[in-house]
Structures are given as structure tokens and as C-alpha cells.
Amino acid sequence: MRPNVCSDRRARRRWLGRAHRRGWGSRCRRQLRRARRLLPMRPHLRRALPLLPVLALVGCLMSPFEELTRVESVAPTALACGGCHVAIYEEFMSSAHARSWSSPPFVEATSDYRFEQCLGCHAPASVFGEGPPTLRETHREEGVTCVSCHFDGDVMLGPARPSALMDPHPVRRTSRTYLSSDLCGSCHVGTMQEWRAAPGESKPTCQACHMPPVTRTLTQGTGLMSNMLVSFEEPYEGRKHLFHIGTEEVFSEGLAGELVDSSRGPDGVRCELLLINRVPHLVPTGDFGVRLLDLGFEALDQQGVVLSRSDQQLRRALGQSLQPDERRALSVRLPSAAWALRLVVSSVAANSEPIVVLTRQWELP
């Protein structure tokens, strides 16, 4: 049966007229213009447009927005934020920030949370303000959670301007704050000092290396109604909340290895290498715990089979870290049957699995 196009048009005009009479502001006018562009391409949205205000209000009543805007010692949980910010929540839950309070190495290092001077940065109430962060009163098991970096008293903070049909909670845009390394330096004090002392004026920020860029909407739909509302949002250029620590993706341009010379002799193959640090802080870095780089030198035959492996370690606690822009000379001796040398550099922290940050391979003469 052919739809009543005239009726659809009248409904759309009535809805747009009410919106303009109520003065929803410039952001709403942008959404209305976008709605007009979407209507010819999405018939189901065209028919549902008069119902969108009702759906939005119902969605707000069904969501924990009252808790999000409450100005008390009770702050929203990451799960509550994840009800709308689905992608960010999933990234956060896979990060070290989500485990900063409950990780066994931290519990052991603080003698079951007895060292109070360490606790504030592992479950901070807020990273804003003077002095080191204070310990959060609630939801400590979430570690460095959403409110630590995005909640300041009575308002949510963020780098992007909301573009939804309506705001579920107050948001103050402070893009400069979230582009600065100072945001991370309130907890990572030692690394921040190294970053400031590193040479160069246009150094990459913490976010540039540890939060990969991504273009997406601020929220993601999880059902028919939410998908309909999210379809009106404008994508923005933001960053993933993964907080990578020492992955090969992060170090692809920051850490490099070069084979300078190699010579064969009666006692094997002698290789001279350079390990170059282009990261604007020490590698390894970190204020507490075990921090080291493991350098694995593997001798390979023509089939790629490992004939032998030797390891060297650079420990932060012993002052062996690579300085910014340092070119560290290394020497290794391989068996005479070696056809290639493979360098495998891994980042190692206390009681955690090594993370490979660099792999290089060279054929030998």
C-alpha cells in the first residue's frame, strides 16, 4: 500500500514548527537541518520523526541520568557511563587503568592497601585540582575510572561538543585539557618530569602515543530506540581509551634497532648494534615496581629455526633506562652457523606477562 506522503509531510512540519517555537537553540537547529537531509534517504526515520521527542524523553527516564548529575560523594560507575558510551567502556575495561586498584601486584606491593601514599593514584576521585589526587570514597574497584578524568564536582568534562538531540547530563567542553600531557602527569609524576626535560619543542603528548586516534560518535546504540537517536549524532575525531603501555604499535616509531657491523671469526659471529630511543621519556619508565626491558638476541638458520638465544636486561631501578634520543651500543656473539640475527625487545613489569615492543631481523654476511 502506498504511504500517505502528504500526511508525513504535515507531521514533519508540525514537529519542526513546535521545535522552533520552543527555541531549542543552535545545536538543535543543526540537528533539524541534518534530519531534513536524512529524511529522503531513510523512510523509516521519516515516518518516526514526529515520535523522536517522546522516545528521547522515555529514554532519559529509563537511564541512570539522575545518578550522573547528582552532586554528592556518590559518583556514577563506569558501567553506568558505559550504558551510552559503549565503545569507550569496552576499551577502558581492557586497559590497565581498570585494573589499577585490584591487580595482584599492586595489592601485594601495598601490603593489602596499607601504604596510603600509593592509593590516591590507583583509585583517584579526580585528577583535577592542586596536589596529588585523593582517594575516591566509592567504587574503588574500578581503578582509574571515568569520573577520575571526566567529573569535576557537578559537571561532566570532555573534549568534544555533544551533538545528540538532547543532553542526558551537563557537559563542559575543555578540549585543551584533554590534549595536554598535564592531565596524565598528575599521577605519572616521574614520567612527566622526564617528558618535560626531554629535548624538542613539538614533542608528542601522552595521548598521541597511548590513546590511538579514532573517528566515531560519542555514544553507541544498543537497541532500536537508542540506534535511532544515535543516528542523529555527528562523528568526531577522538581517541581510544586503551591506554596502551609498551605495545609494538606504540613503539613502532619510538624505539628502533640498527645492525652497525657484523664479522665472522673462528669463535662465531660478532654483531654490533644500536638501540635508539625516540620516545620523549626514559625507556623503561615508571616510578614504582619492576620496570625493565628484556633484549633477546636470537640466532637463526636459513629456515628461520632459532639456534640460540641470549638476553640482556635494562632495569629502571639500576639506572639503565634509555634516555630520550639515546643511541645505546650493544654487542652480541652468535654461533658460526647463524644465518640471521633477530632482536626481540620486551617490556616487563612486576608479575605480568612480557609485552613485545620491538622486533627486528637482519641477514648476516
Instruction: Write out the three cell numbers for 30.
Output: 543543526
Q: Give the pLDDT of residue 216.
A: 92
Report the distance separating Cα 195 and Cα 189, nearest Å. 10
CA 361 to chain CA centroid, nearest Å? 30
CA 39 to chain CA centroid, nearest Å? 36
Q: Give the pLDDT of residue 3.
A: 42
Helix (H) or strand (E) holding 298: strand 291-300
Only one residue has cell 570532555, namely 158
Report the distance separating Cα 46 and Cα 7, nearest Å. 11
Report the distance separating Cα 361 and Cα 283, nearest Å. 21
Q: Beta-carbon neighbour count of residue 42 at 10 Å?
A: 15
Cβ pair 249, 212 in contact under 8 A: yes
Instruction: Write out the three cell numbers for 68.
Output: 550522573
- Residues paired with 334 in a beta bridge: 269
- Residues paired with 292 in a beta bridge: 315, 348
Parallel, antiparallel, or unpaired: how do β-strands 171-173 and 155-158 relate?
parallel
* CATH 2.60.40.3230 location in the chain: 248-363
Residue by residue, DSSP assigns 126-142 as -S-SSSSPPBPSS-GGG
Cβ pair 281, 324 in contact under 8 A: yes
Q: Where are the alpha helices (DSSP H) in the chain?
A: 5-21, 25-38, 43-48, 52-62, 65-68, 78-82, 86-93, 104-109, 146-150, 175-178, 182-185, 189-197, 206-210, 224-230, 248-251
Q: Beta-carbon neighbour count of residue 33 at 10 Å?
A: 10
Parallel, antiparallel, or unpaired: how do β-strands 291-300 and 355-363 relate?
unpaired
Q: Give the pLDDT of residue 49.
A: 56
pTM of the model: 0.76
Nearest Cα to Cα of residue 288 among 93, 98, 100: 100
Q: Spell out the per-residue pLDDT of the chain, length 365, in tens.
A: 444 444 455 555 554 555 444 444 455 555 555 555 544 444 555 555 555 555 555 555 444 555 555 544 567 889 988 988 999 999 999 998 999 999 888 898 899 999 988 899 999 988 887 888 999 988 999 999 999 999 877 678 888 877 777 667 777 888 888 989 999 999 999 999 999 999 988 889 999 889 989 999 988 887 776 777 777 788 989 999 998 876 666 666 788 999 999 999 889 999 999 999 999 999 999 888 788 999 999 999 999 999 999 999 999 989 999 999 999 999 999 999 999 999 999 988 765 678 888 899 999 98
Q: Give the pLDDT of residue 326.
A: 96
Q: Give the pLDDT of residue 29.
A: 55
Q: Which CATH class is domain 248-363?
A: mainly beta
Report the distance separating Cα 129 and Cα 178, nearest Å. 15
